[in-house]
Amino acid sequence: MAYRTVAGSQTYAFADLKDLMAKATPLRSGDMLAGVAAATAEENVAARMCLADVPLRTFLNEALVPYEEDEVTRLIIDSHDALAFRTLSHMTVGDFRDFLLSGSATSEVLATIAPGVTPEMAAAVSKLMRNQDLIAVAKKCRVVTRFRNTIGLPGTMAVRLQPNHPTDDPAGVTASILDGLLYGCGDAVIGINPASDSVPVLSELLKLIDGIIQRFDIPTQACVLTHVTTSTEVINRGVPVDLVFQSVAGTQKANASFGIDLATLREGREAALSLNRGTLGDNVMYFETGQGSALSANAHYGVDQQTLEARAYAVCRPFKPLLVNTVVGFIGPEYLYDGKQIIRAGLEDHFCGKLMGVPLGCDVCYTNHAEADQDDMDTLMTLLGAAGVTYIMGIPGSDDVMLNYQSTSFHDQLYLREVLGLKRAPEFEAWLQRMGITEPDGRLKTQRGSHPLLAAAPELAA
Amino acid sequence: MSEPAGEGDLTADSVSEAPASEGAAIEGAAIEGAVIEDSWRRLAGVTPARIALGRAGTGMPTREVLRFALAHAQARDAVHLPFESARMAGDIAALGFETLELTSAAPARDAYLRRPDLGRRLSEESRALLEARAGAPVDVALVVADGLSSTAIHAQAVPFLTAFKARIAEAGWSVGPVCVASQARVALGDEVGERLKASACVVLIGERPGLSSPDSLGLYLTFAPRAGRSDAERNCISNVRGEGLSHELAAFKLAWLLKEALARQLTGVSLKDESDLLLVGGRPPTARIGERDQSVTRRSFPAG
């Protein structure tokens, strides 16, 4: 079905819903690369005006990616909660924005409607929202998950401790973990991106992190971010696995380029659940996403990258993940060109995820060929902190020496806690105090002499 | 700026009006305690990660902020410094190679970064240049591409080619002109190799610069290069630089892969680098010009 609108002195026509969605998207390099972006600034606004009048029900009848060809579309349509959608069923996209910003959309109401919100609806309304709207509404959404601690409570922000090392050297990885813990990081997960994909190396890393968690009784979880089928294999060999990781995207074809489908994810989750290692809850999955992944796999169906990203959260949702994060600036300037585009995308992703009931965190990051720097990251992390982001990354000095990109540092989370008053997951906060790492107010204690945690690195003590 | 001592001292005036001696004492005390060093600094010796940096309040100490800024500046420069194509061509010619200067279809850096597809195609002029030059088929075409780090090419291309030239002589391969390509991505080599009628193409390219590695060279080998090859059909040797893989070892590994590729008529996921088995004490055997080593090429591999 075609869409038309008059803006200024011109009539604009849009071939179909996905054309309208793409042209309504705030400008970014990935949509230009795909050839789906609006040609002019006026066309972009015309598309938004037109989109504002589209009834939300349209998204249940007009699939952007064909139902017959794509299991993600089938998942979205077949599992749609009509009861949860009832409140929204009479609204247009524009009405939806007004409703979300209104006092009627309380945290409780937003939690109730979440299963009725499809990713296309979330993406559509986000295209009509300014950055402050994305922050204000996301802030009201509550998504709480549990494994060995409680993540996502109001007023908290967790941190993934990311102790990557270029050769997976155990002493080097241990050093980064201890540094991170002593800076009060690690409540989301202690999660490493391994350089290797060999099962013996991955098994050793899992045992290493699990050893530290067990020895000091840390209320957190471990993860080695490797392919879901590799995690399943490692579990079958009796290695301790807390969380099963996988990168996911918004179309079946893009997921196939990652070597997965929904069935593979189900198997991974069942394998993790079979170990029954969570003490407070059974959220055992950890997913990563990022705008542009479908286009880079040539699996985008002419749909804009932000809508496809929201569809990735629909892939995550049924697997009840502990953590999902958008690795927002990692993919490069051909998808998100500069700080402005990265900041916008980070806020959109966080908003869409939260609106859909997914525990969204953000890898606030950039590569050296993007037009971005630490100041842009400071801006994005501060905005996300205000928006109630579930978690961010903690990387020594912002410099990931294995993946060659810059993310948020151990220091950055301290800054956010200081200026925004954000606490850690309560169980982890209590542990830090018990260990003498933080003061009762959550601030770091000045360490003099050797801390007991450093005993985890005996070979370093000599 | 030091922090005001208390609620009553919030205005600049009240600070400046304080007696000189007292003001100096406050300042001295504030500076002394400003940076909290981490008591676990010795851990930093076991990882290149930036750990135990210490802190000023919740922030990084000034020295660390500046150290980081310098590394980022170097990485940024690596991406944006103009590629000295003519100088590189001259230096490579001095090694005894014939050279050609080519450009991709990306007219400038900005277009190159936004449109990866343009960096994978030749400009019309370069296409004509190659057409005019194409002669008899060769074993291997060599492309020196700026990629995402001209710094890497400026620093690594000549020493690497010096090492690789000995391997070429040892194996007796015929090579086409070394094509020095500006605003180029890896896949540009597919079209170059095809037009030069090369059995295989080697692309030397500046890798995406990391904060601690702005000058890292990547080597991509593609058998039967032609436009439309996928990355799964290539072999890659990464991190060629002073602190990473040495030029000698990289040249040895590439020669091993090239021999295998020519013998088995393929590159990509089904060609695994097993050159490490031939290293002696972690070092490659010396190139022996004139003695062709057939043992490697004749090794049998499992099917698949």
Q: What is the ipTM of this complex?
A: 0.95
Q: Determine, for residues A175 and B38 on separate chains, whether the beta-carbon distance falls below 8 Å.
A: no
The mean of the pLDDT values for chain B is 86
Contact A404 B211 (CB under 8 A): yes
Question: For A368, which of B48, B52, B75 is closest by C-beta distance?
Answer: B75
Please report the pLDDT score of residue B33 as a whole number: 79
Contacts of B50 in chain A (CB under 8 A): 396-399, 401, 409
Q: What confidence score (pLDDT) does residue B230 get? A: 86
The 3-state secondary structure of chain A, one letter per residue = CCEEEEECCEEEEECCHHHHHHHHCCCCHHHHHHCCCCCCHHHHHHHHHHHHCCECCHHHHCCCCCCCCCHHHHHHHHCCCHHHHHHHCCCEHHHHHHHHHCCCCCHHHHHHHHHHCCHHHHHHHHHCCCHHHHHHHHHHCCCCEECCCEECCCCECEEEECCCCCCCCHHHHHHHHHHHHHCCCCCCEEEECCCCCCHHHHHHHHHHHHHHHHHCCCCCCEEECCCHHHHHHHHHCCCCCCCEEEECCCCHHHHHHCCCCHHHHHHHHHHHHHHCCCCCCCCCEEEEECCCHHHHCCCCCCCCHHHHHHHHHHHHHHHCCCEEEEECCCCCCCCCCEHHHHHHHHHHHHHHHHHCCCCEEEECCECCCCECCHHHHHHHHHHHHHHCCCEEEEEHHHEECCCCEECCEHHHHHHHHHHHCCECCHHHHHHHHHCCCECCCCCECCCCCCCHHHHHCHHHHC
The reported pLDDT for the residue numbered B24 is: 52
Task: Read off the pLDDT band of B14 (50, 70, 90).
Answer: very low
Residue B279 pLDDT exceeds 90: no
pLDDT at A8 (0 to 100): 87
A44-53, A416-425, B11-20: least confidently modelled range:
B11-20
Instruction: List all residues of chain A from 350 to 389 with a beta carbon under 8 Å from chain B.
Output: 367-369, 373-374
- Scanning A161-190 for CB atoms below 8 A from B yields 163-166, 169, 171-173, 175-176, 178-179, 182
A411–B60: do the CB atoms touch at under 8 Å? yes
**Chain A residues whose beta carbon lies within 8 Å of the beta carbon of residue B79:** 368-369
Say whether B49 and A178 touch across the interface (CB within 8 A). no
Percent of chain B with pLDDT over 90: 71
Contact A169 B46 (CB under 8 A): yes
- pLDDT tens digits, residue range B69-92? 999 999 999 999 999 999 999 999
- A32 in contact with B at a CB cutoff of 8 Å? yes
pLDDT tens digits, A408-451: 999 999 999 999 999 999 999 999 999 999 999 999 999 988 89
Residue A196 banded pLDDT, cuts 50, 70, 90: confident
* pTM assigned to the model: 0.89
Question: What pLDDT, on the 0 to 100 scale, is given for residue A462?
Answer: 45
